[in-house]
Amino acid sequence: MATYSSAEKLAVPTKTKSARAARPYMHPYAAGVLLGLVLFAAFFFTGNGLGASGGMNRITVLFEDWFFPAHIDRTPYLISMAGGGRNPLESWVVFVTFGTIIGGFVSGFLNGRVKLETVKGPNTSTRTRWIMAFIGGALMGYGARMARGCTSGQALSGGSVLSLGSWVFMFAVFGGAYMLAYFVRKLWN
C-alpha cells in the first residue's frame, strides 16, 4: 500500500458530485516528456516557445485600451501592443493563453476533475486560502513582468534554449520558494 505525505493526500483523486470517478493523475515523468514534445512542436511549427504572462498582459491591455486609450498612446511599452489602431490580441501568446485555459478545462472534464472547490489545508480557513492565493498571484504576476516572462516562458522556453537569464530566474524561483515554504507550511497541514 502506498503512503502519501499530507500534501499528496490532498491531490489524491476523489469522486465528483456527479458520482463520476476522477482518473488518476499522469505520471510526472511521462507528463514532462509530453510537455517537452509540445514545447518542441511549438518551436518547430511557430518559431515561438510557450508562455502565459504575455497573453494575460495583452488581454489586460485590451481592456485598458477600451477605457483609457490616451494612456495607451502615451506609454511606450503599451504603444507596442495597442497604440493607435493595433489590436493587442493579434499575438501568438494570446492564443497560447486561451489554449491553456480551454485545454485545462477539457482535460479536467475528461478526467472527472471539473468542480468548484477551494483546495486548502485542514486547519486553514477558505478566506485565508483565498487571501494567500491572491497575494501569491499578485507577487508572481509582478515578478513575471519584472523578469520579462512567467515561469513557463522563462523555464520552458528560455531554459530550453539555454538562456542564462532564464536559468538564473528559475534558480531564484526555487530558492525563494524553499525559503518561504517554512513560513507558510501551516497553511497546508
**Lowest mean pLDDT: which of 7-16, 125-134, 147-156?**
7-16
pLDDT range class, residue 30, cuts 50, 70, 90: very high
- Residue 16: per-residue pLDDT: 45
Q: Quote the percentage of the chain above a pLDDT of 70.
A: 90
How buried is 154 (Cβ within 10 angstroms: 0-12 exposed, 13-18 middle, 19+ buried)? buried
Is the predicted pLDDT of residue 20 greater than 80, yes or no? Answer: no
Residue ranges in the chain assigned as alpha helix (H): 6-11, 28-46, 53-67, 69-74, 76-82, 92-110, 126-146, 151, 159-160, 164-184
Instruction: Read off the C-alpha cell for 43.
Output: 518551436
Is the predicted pLDDT of residue 141 greater than 50, yes or no? Answer: yes
**Lowest mean pLDDT: which of 6-15, 52-61, 104-113?**
6-15
Is the predicted pLDDT of residue 116 greater than 80, yes or no? Answer: yes
Would the pTM of this model clear 0.75, i.e. be above it?
no
**Chain segment 166-186, per-residue pLDDT in tens:** 899 889 888 988 998 888 887
Give the closest residue to 189 by CA, choosing from 8, 13, 7. 7
Is the predicted pLDDT of residue 144 greater than 50, yes or no? Answer: yes
- Residue 123: per-residue pLDDT: 84
Over range 98-120, report the average pLDDT. Answer: 89
Over range 58-70, report the average pLDDT. Answer: 90
